Chain A
């Protein structure tokens, strides 16, 4: 298989471990005087966007940063709980850049680019150094060194963390760097602004149309380059662990103006989320993967067991992950753990009122910690109650905020009874196709972080999203953007009365008017929920040809209905959250179709993409490397019309193998 001529991945020549070092040392530079006249637009201020905006401004570029929230600090990276990976080998447990690279490629079920992943592993250590220098308060040992914990899909401890709020602390670090540049005037910040479209001039991306969400006014902004750091599109499912505002609009608009969309069907369903409690539910809440360090997952051995969890004796419990995957146990990758939970629930062993949940139980480890503490304190024959009390204190220190959140949402105390959990949509590995420089197929338009497709293949390992967002923003784009901008030093700022800006703004205005004047009978949420149900039922944890085929037709019909019958109250020229939602859902209604088409064309199972027709006798994902070892990059050709381009994935350093965690 040869890659499509339209896709030049620009992977540097040479040995894998030297590619980045050599490239970084030879990529074109822009001299400081020229940087001052080059303008860069950064859309989104999560880990990727805030780190990129701050770093580019430090380097001397003129930066404009945009976010739809009321402050850059609120981007959804803030909600990441468990941690950030780095190949520091501080635990002396055999970690290395190669091992992190290998785990990530394998965890992604051999559907990621070797060169990108190796670069990610190489810069991972710098991320920790940078964050500590900024004052990010990571967890520490008594000796003052940094602490680590385990995450799924690895056998080393390489995850750095700050209680269950690692994303918050890393984002506040990046946000502080960003605010420092704002204070110095090097970044102009546009909060409560939503990107509505990109503007291309002579084949290059030259700016954006943004809507001021407070006044409703449309604005034109020029940039020599535009960086989309706009996160993932999990909200296409309506219910997900994403924030309510997380959306695909920026990426989708870019897609419709020439940026190819890579592997849209690769969705991560996270195994440990609080189950749905009713149809009023607006979002789902994750319980960090780090809990699987100390929690054991089980269901009763008996079908439809009516007993309470604590009344079921040890030998009547099925610790199915430990049974099926003894080598990794509860720490198998997310896709494997999610499917295993679904399998047990579908077979009738689920727990809770809905029977669509499994237990995540901390009792055994609470007792183990209690004993360790009792030993430390030199207690002679401590009572069981005393041990449990001491153990709970340890658990509280490690996961206190998560346990509180669980109790707040469910009304049950996880210190006393096991948590009930079920898989939920969490992350999207797919995204805009980018080359080694993180540039999309539109020159001058880049995608960073979750918004691109590049590093996680068909399944992301835990604690790798924070790593990738910060790697892209702090350590990759600041170098790779020079390759493009060094050719742009003679390009003067293009006035925004240029016809391309005028035309793009008019198109946006037309769509807004259409939504506002539609005056249908159904709310935006009504359509969003219906779309979500189609996607979850037919393009969710398990997919098949029949379901996907019907989903495509259903989505097309739903989209038609949306444009006929949606009701958007209020005015275009004011703060109007319903109008914001309507825009986003209109784009989800187009994206959903492409996701189903991508899932339908990929006649194999890999990572988070599980096609029921393609599985091993044990129910594991069955890849087809001869026919599908490629990135599917879709080109937009008009409504419901997408052309497939393939980028061959070459594995020169890792041997393709059936993933084995048993």
Chain B
């Protein structure tokens, strides 16, 4: 079905569910084209496994254009693989050589239990968002949009933080499984905008509290998260969150 000439060896993490132990299995990926995406290469392998009556490899994916944040593979020791600034679905096989052996694992973190093979449970991120990642404004309460003037540099900086896709690569990259980059991106976006300032203190306290409860580790400033983030979310967000948190803790009336 494919028209490529790359042959690869895959060592892929297989795990039935969160309650069983996993292990690496070896697969051969044959006839791979350099124009395929990494996930299309997995499609080829899975099609072959199904045709042989074997069980395919389970993995998460959806939009396949680098924006939904669902794909999550730890490839040769790096979240989303060797190329900077891309998700697994946007990684193409031209980034590999014929004959390569590629090791593929799920995100590893106590806060991201494995569901099956390469798919993990990231609902902890949703709970952190539910704890404070919003502006408390009900539908119908808004005034005319241009009544809120926002300096372009602030808007741009907020946008850069808001570009986070919530994939969890930052957690997977961190030796402490810290979620600080993810949490700080949302805290920053809203702290930078006048709409979010009103409840900025409560937000940062609530989100950090939830983050800790979910079992994410501490930040020790290694910067691995920023280096591996497919959307290049900046470490400055963590610094900003720390300032916000310190200020909120010092002045909180609770």
A: residues with CB less than 8 A from B are 51, 54-55, 58, 69-74, 76, 78-79, 88, 90, 125-126, 128-135, 137-146, 162-163, 165, 167-169, 172, 175-177, 179-180, 182-183, 189, 191, 214, 243-245, 277-283, 285-286, 404-405, 408-409, 411, 474-475, 478, 521, 523, 525-526, 567, 569-570, 574-578
Contact = CB atoms under 8 A, between A and B. Distances in A.
Given A135-B190, A137-B158, A280 B43 contact: yes
Nearest to A185: B130
A142 to B, nearest CB: 5
B68 A162 contact: no
Given A54-B139, A180-B134, A474-B139, A278 B129 contact: no
A534 B123 CA distance: 39
Top 4 nearest A-B pairs by Cβ distance? A144-B149, A183-B130, A176-B134, A133-B142
Nearest to A286: B65
A526 B122 CA distance: 31
Given A182-B130, A474-B139, A243 B159 contact: no
Contacts of B58: 575-577
A134 B70 contact: no
Interface residues of B, number: 84
Contacts of B222: none
B142 A132 contact: yes
Nearest to B64: A283
A175 B137 contact: no
B106 interface: no
Contacts, number: 232
Contacts of B221: none
A525 to B, nearest CB: 6
A589 B55 CA distance: 25
Nearest to A397: B156
B51 interface: yes
The residue among B35, B131, B139, B163 with the most chain A CB atoms within 10 A of its own CB is B139
B195 A132 contact: yes
A180 B90 contact: no
A90 B163 CA distance: 26
A467 to B, nearest CB: 14
A2 to B, nearest CB: 38
B137 A134 contact: yes
B175 to A, nearest CB: 24
A167 B163 CA distance: 11
15 contacts: A69-B70, A134-B134, A144-B150, A167-B67, A172-B162, A179-B129, A179-B133, A243-B68, A245-B62, A277-B35, A280-B44, A474-B139, A523-B51, A569-B49, A576-B58
Contacts of B66: 405, 408
Nearest to A410: B35
Interface string B19-43: 0000000000000010111011001
A175 B64 contact: no
A182 B49 CA distance: 40
A577 B46 CA distance: 11
Contacts of A140: 150-152, 155
Contacts of A525: 43, 47
B149 A179 contact: no
Given A140-B155, A163-B159, A575-B116, A71 B67 contact: no
